[in-house]
Amino acid sequence: MSGPLLPGAAIGVLGGGQLGRMLTLAARRMGYRVHVFSPDTDSPAGRVANREWGAPYDDMEAVRQFARSVGAVTLEFENIPAETVEELSSVVPVRPGPRALRTTQNRLREKEFLKGAGFPVAPFRAVPDRSSLGAAVEEVGVPAVLKTAGFGYDGKGQTRISAPEDADAAWDALGGEAVLEAWVGFEMELSVVAARGTDGSFAHYGAVRNTHDRHILDLTVAPAGVPRGVEDEAVSIAAGIFEELGIEGTACVEFFLTGGGGLLVNEIAPRPHNSGHWTIEGAATSQFEQQLRAVCGLPLGGTHRAEPAAMANLLGDLWPAGEPDWPSALAVPNVSLHLYGKKEPRPGRKMGHVTARAPTPEEAARRALEARGALAGTREPTAES
């Protein structure tokens, strides 16, 4: 690709979920055409795209045809076979790039990259088979977390080991190559969503505070409310990771903030992230427009936040008694609703989110939780309770 891809051009998106949907909406608003490629049809992203390609990721003929139909490719889902990305890269630019994808889709490779590059991580050991787990537990200590090496998300593929005798059950629950990580007693979880352009420029949204429920992100509050030095360090580490991996596009670095004020990198997501959804209403340029700009070789947009914001996920658990009470939720001041177009609500499935803006982070969080509670006719606890 010589020069930037301008409005009117077509971009390709690997994956048909909600991240692809929100990227597609941002791209179409700016005059781009979008082709979505995934094994599914009538997907959330496919419904708003110009064209939906429904084929397995290992269908190389379909992959080549898809690549020839667009000017650049990005992704909303990192668990793409490496061979698919390599094939695409031989035809069209793929951003964030094969190295970032290969590193981050495998926990062991990711941890080894971070440690080798000097970024702070919790102690860990590779566990290629059951026979090596005992020694790993002895070296790392307990409690610890055993995680599958590849293809895990939203807390899936991991189990806690509280005592050495738990090792057999933990291995049986996962049953494959794994990573054992020391248990981190953290004060809070933070993330930094940022973007890096094709010219090496870097733009970030600062550090945000995340809380989880059942290992699924529940609430994000921006700003995080941490000391300036902690936020600056988190942004600096994120910028270093982007540079080392050569990321072009939007990505997220997740952190644990320990009780002593130290930061440990938890994981890297080489794509827009759930904790950045608040940027759609809350920042001058959303994380999705930022991804589009980077993928197309355009200048990155501003990340100014006019006021604090909060995002609360809407899971399928809200639907057991029927359709949620949308009017009551939207009666809460400065609340915006996003639904992802998924057909079937299931417990734990991300169906949408609400964003709230307010003069303070605490009030933004309260409004987001109030709106979500109104959907089910309940009052949720505030972020402080």
Domain count for the chain: 3
Name the token pair of 266: 């938890």
Residue pair 338/330 in contact by the 8 Å Cβ criterion: no
Give me the pLDDT at residue 152, please.
Answer: 57
The closest alpha carbon to 122, from 243, 263, 269, belongs to: 263
Domain boundary among 182, 203, 231: 182
Tokens found for residue 315: 């899971």
Q: 200 and 169, same structural domain?
A: no
Question: Are 153 and 266 in the same domain?
Answer: no
Is 303 found in the same domain as 248? yes
Whether 203 and 347 share a structural domain? yes
Q: How many CB atoms lie within 10 A of CB 327?
A: 9
- C-alpha dihedral over 202, 84, 21, 212, to 10 degrees? -70
What are the residue ranges in the chain where pLDDT is below 70? Answer: 1-2, 151-156, 378-385
Residue 331 is assigned to a structural domain of this protein: yes
DSSP 268-294: EESS--GGGTTHHHHSSS-HHHHHHHH
- Contacts by 37-42, CB closer than 8 A, 24 or more apart: 37/12, 37/13, 37/62, 37/63, 37/66, 38/14, 38/77, 40/16
pTM: 0.94
- Single out the residue in 182, 200, 217 at which a domain terminates: 182
DSSP H or E stretch at residue 231: helix 228-245
CATH of the domain at 326: 3.30.470.20
Amino acid identity of 263? L
User: Are residue 147 and residue 230 in the same domain, yes or no?
Assistant: no
Do 199 and 173 lie in one domain? The reply is: no
**Which structural domain, as residue segments, surrounds residue 147?**
123-182
Dump strand ranges (E) for the chain.
Answer: 10-14, 33-38, 51-54, 72-75, 124-127, 144-148, 158-161, 178-182, 186-196, 202-213, 216-222, 249-258, 263-269, 309-315, 335-339, 350-357
Say if residue 172 is in the same domain as residue 290.
no
What CA–CA distance (Å, rounded) separates 159 from 336? 35
Task: Specify the CATH number for the domain of residue 169.
Answer: 3.30.1490.20
